[in-house]
Structure 1
Amino acid sequence: MRQLGLVLVAVAFLASCGIRPTGVIPGLQAPSGPVENPSPSIFWVADGQVVPTSRVQGSLTGRDVVALLAQGPSNAELQRGLTTEVPFDAAPATVDRVASGLDVTVSTDVSLLSPNAVRQIVCTLLAVQAVGTVNLRGGGHSLEARKCA
């Protein structure tokens, strides 16, 4: 038992050799703000309902989201019965970060979008970056403070 104690003291002594105490080392600010999801769900329509699907996509911007939804599902997704209600002329779009979330301006009149198309855009944007709400604008109309529901 005594040998074990001596070994522990020797190890502690040797482990501390040459290490001098230092003060606090200043650094940069910690990252803040919303984190982008590297593999977000893409929301398509199946049997009249908006459903999340996984797709290996990589990083998406808000502009990419609207273009992707307007383009429609891949052939494999089409075979699984997935579709889109986002019209092709909704893209291009602009997406700006604001205090309450995102301001999105699409290239079509938002008052003509189906409820499913609105949900597809809002839910996919919020899957990419969870930031609060989405304000959709286009064609002189707006749909304010939308959440994924």
Structure 2
Amino acid sequence: MKHTAHRSRAVLAVLIAVLAGAAGCGVQPTGVIPAGPAPAGFETGRRDSQLTLYFRFDGRLSPVERHQAAAVSPEAAVKELFRGPTAAESAKGYTSMLPYGTGTPSVDTTSNPVTVTVPYPLKALYPGGLDQVVCTTMAALSASGQANAVYGVSVKTSDARLDNVRCGTF
């Protein structure tokens, strides 16, 4: 018993020494350091004309910002997303996992959660294109001052419905 108590005190002494050393590392606390505005697209409560679309770049989801004359709307953002990257964006390496062709996506911002309807089967979107749709919609909702995408959006395809999907899920 005496040996166990001695070992416990030794461990405690080492722990105190480590904590005391860490406390004296020389890093001083600072106040808030202003670093500019939050990243475009997810700052809630503002009305913006900065359109944030999500495409693929080097195999990853990546935002592309486009300035437009009118305020951002979720429906306009999703329609623009399905048009794909511009020639300049494609030249930089941006691609899309979304199908092109007939059919127009729509966004119902009156539903809870907001519902994006696309005229394609789920397998045409999954996995990469689905994230493009969800992230673009959430960015547009935020830019348009609609904070109702906090819990995600629903995506309705021609053969399935996914509820409360968030950016980065896929």
Give the TM-score of the pair, scaled to structure 2.
0.60
Q: Which position in structure 1 is the counterpart of 2:153?
A: 134
- Show the counterpart of 1:148: 167
Number of aligned residues: 117
Gaps of 5+ in 1: 1-32
Separation (CA, whole Å) in 2 of partners of 1:104 and 1:77: 24
Structure 1 counterpart of 2:128, one-letter code: N
> Structure 1 residues 146, 36: CA separation in 2 closer, same or farther (over 3 Å shift)?
farther
**Higher alpha-carbon Rg:** 1
Output the aligned Cα RMSD.
2.2
In structure 1, the residue matched to 2:80 is 68
Cα distance change of structure 1 residues 147 and 36 upon mapping to structure 2, 3 Å threshold: farther
Q: Which amino acid aligns with 1:108?
A: Y
Query: 3-state SS of the aligned residue for 1:127?
Result: helix
What is the DSSP-based 3-state SS (H/G/I as helix, E as strand, rest coil) of the residue aligned with 1:101? coil
The alignment-based identity, stated in percent, is 25
The match for 2:58 among 47, 53, 59 is 47
**CA distance in 2 between partners of 1:122 and 1:36 (Å):** 19
Compute the displacement of 1:105 (Å): 1.0
> Following the alignment from structure 1 to structure 2, what is the Cα–Cα distance between the partners of residues 135 and 90?
22
Separation in 2 of the partners of 1:90 and 1:44? 20
Mapping of 1:1-149 within 5 angstroms?
Answer: 35-58=46-69, 59-89=71-101, 91-98=103-110, 100-130=112-142, 131-132=148-149, 133-149=152-168
With normalisation by structure 1, the TM-score equals 0.68
List runs of 5+ in structure 2 lacking aligned partners. Answer: 1-43, 143-147
Moved more, 90-99 or 135-144: 90-99
